[in-house]
A and B are shown apart, each in its own frame.
Chain A
Amino acid sequence: MCKVDVQERILAKNESTADHNRSHMRAAGVLCVNLMGSPGAGKTAVLEATSRGASNDLSIGAIAGDLATDNDARRLQAAGIQAEAVNTGSMCHLDAELVHRALHHFRLDDVDLLFIENVGNLVCPAVYDLGQAVNVVALSVTEGEDKPLKYPTMFAKADLVLLTKTDLLPHLPNVSMQAIHDAIARVMPRPRVISFSAVDGTGVNQFLEWLKEAA
């Protein structure tokens, strides 16, 4: 019997494609944001509101991953965002190769900010590096205060949590923002949270400021 010590990351190939994507985006001067969250957390609405709130000199692009349909990409295009749909079929996440292929259809020189709207899922997308500069997780106030404790990997990798749908809080007497913040602090080493509402515009400017600092 011969034992071969390998000590190799199983997703090394994905990571090398992700690094390739990252270098493309750096060279084009684009800040790439991997936007993740549950289905229905409000990821597309976050992008629409961000586009509405952004000044005219900030050009936004998006790659929208979904199992099926290009509905999100069409919504984003209607909001003035250069958007490309990526259908993953049965795959529960985007990987670096899918993003790489989508980037080839993209006019990177025309955008300052590229969002990758990942497939709605709090588990699988956290595992795959896509070549992003930062990870942002959208968590809606209706999802349950202990959601971060249930999905620690996703929040451990996040650079920012957008606490979405805060306009609903008056109708949610049992939801405590303090409990959500406490749960995040137990799974996210540098907790950074922005309260956000795509309906009344809460947090949009703060998010744009955060993006400017990250760029």
Chain B
Amino acid sequence: MHEYSIIQSLVDSVEIHAARHPNAAVKRLRVSIGELSGVDATLLATAYEVFRFGTICDDAVLDIVPVAACWSCVRCGGEIPKGEVLRCGPCDAEAKLTAGDEILLDQIELEVQ
């Protein structure tokens, strides 16, 4: 399970951003996790609950925004439904992933004290 190491990287990143706001407490984080990112949102939430204690995120809620995978034709841009062969029939062209591989820290909410 690599979700713990993702949380470690997340907390490291939050520390760097929060350091620019010295008198503020981290209250909420928003992350985007793609369906094909290889990261499981439920496991990530569990890892966060275990890992946040004693860190800068001790008092912060984690919101996880799931992002559905989307495959599109590289030529016409038409969507190729999940589970289908990843090739656009009319264009005879391959598909590319246009959404769904995100492992992103979107936003940090800080409370100025």
List, in ascending order, chain A residues with CB within 8 A of B58's CB.
none
One digit per residue, 1 when the CB lies within 8 angstroms of any chain A CB and 0 when it does not, for chain B 89-113 equals 0000011110001011111111110
Number of interface residues of B (CB under 8 A): 39
Q: Is the CB of A127 within 8 A of B108?
A: no
Q: Is the CB of A7 within 8 A of B104?
A: yes
List, in ascending order, chain B residues with CB within 8 A of A175's CB.
none
Helix, strand, loop or mixed for chain A's interface? Answer: mixed
Within 8 A of B (CB), among A121-169: 123-124, 126-128, 149, 152-154, 156
Within 8 A of A (CB), among B47-100: 69, 71, 83-87, 94-97
Q: Is A101 an interface residue (CB 8 A)?
A: no
List, in ascending order, chain A residues with CB within 8 A of B27's CB.
1
- The closest CB in chain B to the CB of A122 belongs to B38
When the two chains form the complex, which single residue of B13, B95, B109, B110 contacts A10, counting CB atoms closer than 8 Å?
A: B13
Q: Is A185 an interface residue (CB 8 A)?
A: yes
List, in ascending order, chain B residues with CB within 8 A of A5's CB.
106-107
List, in ascending order, chain B residues with CB within 8 A of A211's CB.
none
List, in ascending order, chain A residues with CB within 8 A of B97's CB.
156, 189
Which residues of A does B touch, CB under 8 Å?
Answer: 1-14, 91-93, 95, 123-124, 126-128, 149, 152-154, 156, 182, 185-191
A186 to B83 alpha-carbon distance, docked (Å): 6
Q: Is the CB of A2 within 8 A of B2?
A: no
CB A206 to nearest CB in B, in angstroms, measures: 21
Q: Is the CB of B107 within 8 A of A10?
A: no
A188 to B109 alpha-carbon distance, docked (Å): 38
Q: Is the CB of B84 within 8 A of A10?
A: no
CB A111 to nearest CB in B, in angstroms, measures: 28
Q: Is the CB of B109 within 8 A of A8?
A: no
- The closest CB in chain A to the CB of B87 belongs to A185
A153 to B33 alpha-carbon distance, docked (Å): 13
List, in ascending order, chain B residues with CB within 8 A of A3's CB.
107-110
List, in ascending order, chain B residues with CB within 8 A of A6's CB.
13, 17, 105-108
A2 to B110 alpha-carbon distance, docked (Å): 5
- The closest CB in chain B to the CB of A182 belongs to B85
A128 to B37 alpha-carbon distance, docked (Å): 10
Q: Is the CB of B38 within 8 A of A13?
A: no
